[in-house]
Amino acid sequence: MGVDCSGFTKTVYNLNNIVLNRDASQQANQGVLVEPGKNFENLKTGDLLFFGTKGEGTHAEKVTHTAMSLGGGTFIQSSGRVKISSLVPKSPLFDEFRSRTFIRAKRILQ
């Protein structure tokens, strides 16, 4: 068994003496909202990225996954295994599914 996405981010932050909530949906309520920028240029290393279904109409938002930015559109995630991916379509690490399900970014480190 591996570590899930929120367990991964929680552990990384915990190793740096910062406490995060356990679940991705709870972590999404922590930190300060970051406008990622058109090409994700505003994302910094350590920003948390949240994925799932955006709220529309009568459907509530549902956060189902979290990852940690490595700066720009590159991020590290645990989804079955720990891997580095990208939200940038031209990157060889591009993750189309995560790109389609990206909801928002939050900054924990000020």
Q: How many domains does the chain have?
A: 1
**Region of 51 on the Ramachandran plot (φ > 0 left; ψ -120 to 50 alpha; else beta):** beta
Question: Residue 52's domain is classified under what CATH number?
Answer: 3.90.1720.10
Q: What is the residue-level pLDDT of the chain in tens, covering all 110 positions?
A: 568 999 999 999 999 999 999 999 999 999 999 999 999 999 999 999 999 999 888 889 999 999 999 999 999 999 889 999 999 999 999 999 999 999 999 999 87
Q: Provide the domain limits for residue 86.
A: 5-107
> What are the residues whose beta carbons fall under 8 Å from the beta carbon of 88, sequence distance 6 or more?
39, 40, 72, 73, 74, 94
SS3 of 67, please?
strand
Supply the pTM of this predicted model: 0.94
- 34-54 burial, b if ≥16 CB within 10 A, otherwise e? bebeeebeebeebbbbbbbee
Q: What is the pLDDT of residue 1?
A: 55
